[in-house]
Amino acid sequence: MTARIGVVTFPGSLDDRDTQRAIRLAGAEPVALWHKDKDLKQVDAVVLPGGFSYGDYLRAGAISRFSPVMETVIEQAKAGLPVLGICNGFQILTEAHLLPGGMLGNDHLHFICRDQKLRVENAETSWTSDYTAGQEIHIPLKNMDGRYVADAYTLDKLEAEGRVAFRYLVRGEAADGYGNPNGSLRDIAGITNEAGNVVGLMPHPEHAVEPLIGTGRTDGLPFFTSILKKLVNA
């Protein structure tokens, strides 16, 4: 049976179709989910895609967190459903308290759009098992409110428990994709929950799944092949 991965569309979602395409390229079946529906259509995993849900008018992800679909996503994520939040989806996951910390405006106060170098820190989550720890990858990044923040206790806890999933590579020149692009504390680009089934990151792996688009590489595809293998072997 083909694994079914749901992609939620909120008002202002921009990358839901791109994410569906990435899922299809990985060999799974993408299932469109609407933010007003509580029914997840019996999917095996869920992706909250990037964009500007509700225009970020209150705070990035703060309104979407209360969409009817999130009630079910939160309940099932706590029960083990794999959930990936990309950019705005990461913001929603922090607002929903499925991941700790929060997202603030970029420290330079400008929208940023560029290819970004990352280091994989945790290759044992449901969404990262096709990577290796320490692997350096190149993923597109685009955000206005991408600065990850948390108190010192939370940051230390994430570090101690190996829950920093991705970190911005700060060596080298920004023109080559290096550097912390938004002021995120400890160069954190993505994190995971304790169980490893919920992952959030700011860069956009769905834009790096074919050699003719994005970075011209396929460094983002392992996100989607990782979850496929996880579901097939479950």
Listing DSSP states for 36-89 in one string gives T----TT-SEEEE--B-GGGGSSSTTTTGGGSHHHHHHHHHHHTT--EEEETHH
Predicted confidence at residue 233, as pLDDT, reads 81
Predicted confidence at residue 176, as pLDDT, reads 83
Is 138 labeled as catalytic in the residue annotation?
Answer: no
Predicted confidence at residue 101, as pLDDT, reads 98
Catalytic-labelled residue, pool 35, 138, 204, 207: 204
198 bridge partner residues: 83
Q: How far is Cα 220 from Cα 214, in angstroms, rounded to an integer? A: 10
Predicted confidence at residue 46, as pLDDT, reads 98
Catalytic-labelled residue, pool 35, 95, 206, 207: 206
Predicted confidence at residue 215, as pLDDT, reads 79
First CA to last CA across the chain, in angstroms? 12
Predicted confidence at residue 214, as pLDDT, reads 73
Is 206 labeled as catalytic in the residue annotation?
Answer: yes
Is 207 labeled as catalytic in the residue annotation?
Answer: no
* Nearest to 65, CA basis, from 96, 87, 31, 42: 96
Predicted confidence at residue 232, as pLDDT, reads 82
Catalytic-labelled residue, pool 87, 95, 121, 207: 87
pTM (predicted TM-score):
0.96
Low-confidence ranges of the chain (pLDDT < 70): 1, 234
Predicted confidence at residue 91, as pLDDT, reads 97
Predicted confidence at residue 174, as pLDDT, reads 82
Location of structure tokens 């469109």:
32
